[in-house]
């Protein structure tokens, strides 16, 4: 079971061009900043938006093909879509929201229990917390027996203190359904927790697709390195599209008598809960260095500092 997506769509000056395959049992994550085209991609797959060209196949069944003139209605696609706002019927109870897609009470009760909604059957959506609304929307979606599950920023409306428990619950549910799942988020931690394969989307274009561990540890593009949190990106002299990324684990202050590959002076210092962030002005431009707040012999603003770089940990990147 798999979904194959290869589409293009232009809206005004924004151009979406993306291509990937998501398989059952391996959650596919679309990772990118807000406005990069993640939600638009899901809407095209679901049939809410129509691509300008391309094709979408689900388990060998054509949902959309611009050349063949095929464009199935959303109701015919057998896709479950969890919207950011959950799209529950406000005038129906939890029970009724789920029962609307089922035929008997026994099945409805099974979904109530599976999605941890017992005791909330008679509540309207306005009486539910963000996590409860999400579980209700998931239960209704799964009750429709979709062949593909689309999750659009599923934790964006959930309080941080409730997020971990909800993530664990949703993870258990997704592991059981054995269907292709596409998980959209701008949060790399969420993507890391849930997804096995990742696509990096930037300004409408798919920059990189690969296994989670490989992209997080060894990104191959500037877009992937940025979203992995790499702040030190430098163009290679004489090259238009080649860059080096220096992740934080590749950097430490040079020891006395040790040659420093990068040298500059401390421009600013930011203090966070567990670390300090130094902004260093160098000949190559600004350089960012993070260290524990407990580190001794910390430099002050205006002081000179040199860094030793572990060249084996440098990322060589393309655009």
pLDDT at residue 296 greater than cutoff 70: no
- 134: part of which helix (H) or strand (E)? helix 130-143
Q: What's the whole-model pTM score?
A: 0.88
- Looking at domain 2-219, its CATH superfamily turns out to be P-loop containing nucleotide triphosphate hydrolases (3.40.50.300)
> Which of 10-19, 81-90, 154-163 is predicted most confidently?
10-19
Closest CA to 177 of 22, 5, 27: 27
Per-residue pLDDT, averaged over 240-264, amounts to 89
Q: What are the residue ranges of CATH 2.40.50.140 in the chain?
A: 230-318
Mean pLDDT of the chain: 91
Locus of tokens 């993507």: 191
| pLDDT range class, residue 297, cuts 50, 70, 90 | low
Per-residue exposure over 84-118, b if at least 16 CB sit within 10 Å of its own CB, e if not: eebebeeeebbbebbbebbeeeeebbebbebbbbe
Angstrom CA distances, 118 to 108, 110, 143, 171, 193, stand at 11, 10, 16, 19, 27
pLDDT at residue 295 greater than cutoff 80: no
Q: Which CATH class is domain 230-318?
A: mainly beta
Instruction: Return d(Cα 125, Cα 143) in angstroms, integer.
Output: 18
Per-residue pLDDT, averaged over 73-80, amounts to 95
Q: Which pLDDT belongs to residue 246? A: 92
pLDDT at residue 23 greater than cutoff 80: yes
CB atoms within 10 A of CB 312: 6
Per-residue exposure over 145-161, b if at least 16 CB sit within 10 Å of its own CB, e if not: ebbbbbbbbbbeebeee
> Which of 60-69, 145-154, 280-289 is predicted most confidently?
60-69
Bigger pLDDT: 187 or 25?
187
Q: What are the residue ranges of CATH 3.40.50.300 in the chain?
A: 2-219
């Amino acid at each position: 079971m798999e979904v194959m997506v290869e589409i293009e769509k232009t809206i005004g000056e924004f151009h979406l061009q993306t291509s990937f395959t998501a398989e059952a049992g391996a959650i596919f994550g679309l990772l990118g900043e807000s406005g990069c085209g993640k939600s638009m991609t899901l809407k095209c797959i679901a049939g809410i938006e129509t691509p300008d060209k391309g094709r979408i196949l689900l388990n060998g069944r054509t949902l959309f093909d611009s050349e063949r003139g095929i464009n199935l209605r959303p109701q015919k696609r057998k896709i479950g879509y969890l919207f950011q706002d959950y799209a529950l019927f406000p005038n129906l109870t939890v029970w009724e929201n789920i029962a609307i897609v089922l035929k008997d009470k026994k099945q409805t009760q099974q979904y109530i229990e599976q999605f941890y909604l017992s005791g909330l059957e008679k509540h309207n959506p306005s009486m539910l917390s963000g996590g409860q609304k999400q579980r209700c929307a998931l239960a209704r979606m799964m009750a429709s027996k979709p062949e593909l599950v689309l999750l659009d920023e599923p934790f964006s409306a959930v309080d941080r203190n409730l997020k971990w428990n909800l993530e664990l619950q949703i993870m258990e549910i997704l592991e059981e359904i054995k269907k292709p799942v596409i998980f959209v988020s701008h949060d790399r931690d969420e993507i890391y927790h849930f997804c096995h394969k990742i696509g990096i989307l930037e300004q409408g274009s798919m920059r990189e697709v690969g296994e989670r561990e490989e992209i997080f540890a060894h990104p191959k593009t500037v877009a992937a390195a940025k979203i992995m949190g790499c702040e030190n990106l430098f163009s290679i002299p004489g090259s238009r599209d080649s860059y080096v990324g220096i992740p934080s684990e590749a950097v430490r202050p040079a020891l006395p008598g040790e040659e420093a590959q990068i040298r500059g002076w401390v421009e600013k210092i930011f203090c966070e809960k567990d670390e300090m962030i130094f902004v260093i002005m160098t000949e190559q431009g600004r350089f960012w260095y993070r260290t524990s707040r407990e580190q001794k012999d910390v430099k002050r603003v205006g002081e000179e500092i040199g860094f030793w770089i572990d060249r084996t940990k440098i990322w060589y990147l393309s655009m």
